Chains A and B, each alone.
Chain A
């Protein structure tokens, strides 16, 4: 091994990308990457780079997603698909243990051994790389570590694809999470796709010793100035084409200060409480437990499955749900993403991927809601309007989000 991570930059052509998939598979990884299915770029296990969505781009709007062909044949020029990598690192349903009543009446409980799958994720966009880092803090560390997650994560090999084609619903720049792969982020390889007169190629750099080792095994050529410059420009240009912007205000303070805002009623009148936003969000991590038994009562299993704060059961206590209104549930989602997440995990819970905007059937837009709250908040708090009323929500504890 001669390359130290992050220094060697090389250029792969399309065959080199094919070799990358073969190399990762040869090393025992289950390679997961974007591919086209049912009118969308979805994530799936791929056995060859041919499965990548070459020549497919995406048109996004709030509540709308359409594939469109791209003349340039690019493979990574898409964003905000219906799934995220959490589908693999934090699966939607997992068995935790089984219990059996033996013939002598004793009960034996067996913890589920997590499957030892070792993923390689090909084409992780920078916003999603940040989302993985967010889930690492939530599930992979701290007081409540999910050992299964930790194992899957530790074995995963991440190949970033820097973003050169943001969508109309993207706002990673205002969240500080893209469109380039940040220097301090953990990944194994980072690609930047370049398609121009010089051909279809990928500028690649290693971000870890494992990445450098894989790169060394691939057919490649040293990075030339033109490719490096084209890659730099493509990413810099992407930064200027964000379709959305999050207001530049202190979102944590905004969320804490607007708990009683009228805007919550407005958004609640539009929100279906269908839960799609939390399911597609790459950082949402909530689960609930599910106990199943057989008819004899001699065998029981505990499973956990994705849950959402839009479910009435989510806050069900003996007297009923704590957050019964749609207003309180939408507010829980937004204040958790943008506000209380900072208190719990030291960062925002939103990485600006835009999925919740695209995949909301009625197109509710997190950036628009935050902006409206910001306007309402400024209108209430800016001088020279009347002094704060006793009922003014500013300064209340952000911790309480019940209705």
Chain B
């Protein structure tokens, strides 16, 4: 077993759909880990980092962004076909993103109002997560994603194990961190009890309620929580706006999702 050719490194692709690039930036932001990562994987497609692209297949593809155009819908199928593992990163790719606000409105009316020549605009009526179009191996949440969680997912795929990404509520992290609950002690509206952990419960640690950047936790009971938001001063419109931010469409789904195995 000596003088072998270096073992082939797993091939990584990073792809962008409708998004702000923030999640890809999180990968670039990995600083200390970025060079070791470049040693361990062959980065074949990552336009945010380099214009040099190499064709698939890819062992691991990280997909940012939601599907908002017919062209997106075609291209994501191609990415899927080229990828052994497809991991979506961020609220856009896993839940449609803030641009899923269009799902509650009339997109044609928008294009007529905004563009001088709306005929040139080819867009879908909805912004949908990647999983609505192709099978996804893992969904990493957040707006933006958490650096540590991204490294965990990449490391897990490289070593062939399941990523350790808990899907319980933000409250778990908030309590472990020793933060005083802003809902109970201050009456500040906080989406933590219904939001997926992952950020480390940053906002409550600074006295703010959770904004729900990571979308719904795997087990939630949103209807039971609305009265608390109302008690803490939100009217019906406030509640709707609170829920329709980075994961605009996701909190609106039937909220008791726990029967899923």
Contacts and interface: CB of A to CB of B under 8 A. Distances in A.
Interface of A: 37-40, 42, 63-66, 82-83, 87, 92-93, 269-276, 279-280, 290-297, 305-306, 308, 310-313, 319-321, 324-326, 329, 358-359, 361-362
A82 B184 CA distance: 10
Interface string B184-211: 1111001011100000000000010000
A320 B261 contact: yes
Given A290-B164, A312-B167, A361-B193, A65 B184 contact: yes
A313 B193 contact: no
A184 to B, nearest CB: 32
28 contacts: A40-B180, A65-B185, A82-B175, A82-B181, A272-B224, A273-B219, A273-B221, A275-B175, A292-B152, A293-B155, A293-B159, A295-B39, A295-B151, A295-B154, A306-B172, A308-B168, A308-B172, A310-B168, A311-B172, A312-B167, A312-B168, A312-B218, A324-B260, A325-B258, A326-B221, A361-B184, A361-B193, A362-B228
A276 B33 contact: no
B169 A275 contact: yes
A313 B184 contact: no
A329 to B, nearest CB: 8
Interface string B132-172: 00000000000000000001101100110100101111011
Task: Sort chain B's interface into a size bin.
Answer: 35 or more
Contact of B164 (A292, A297, A310): A292
A275 to B, nearest CB: 5
B36 interface: yes
A82 B186 CA distance: 13
B155 A294 contact: yes
Contact of A291 (B164, B180, B220, B258): B164
Nearest to A64: B184
Nearest to B168: A311
Nearest to B190: A361
A74 B77 CA distance: 67
Nearest to B175: A279
Given A65-B185, A325-B259, A326-B258, A82 B180 contact: yes
Nearest to A290: B164
Contacts of A269: 221, 224
A313 B197 CA distance: 13
B150 to A, nearest CB: 12
A321 B261 contact: yes
B251 to A, nearest CB: 13
B237 interface: no
Q: Which 6 A-B pairs have the closest CB atoms?
A: A320-B261, A279-B175, A274-B193, A92-B176, A38-B180, A40-B180
Contacts of A324: 258-261
A63 B228 CA distance: 9
A279 B176 contact: yes
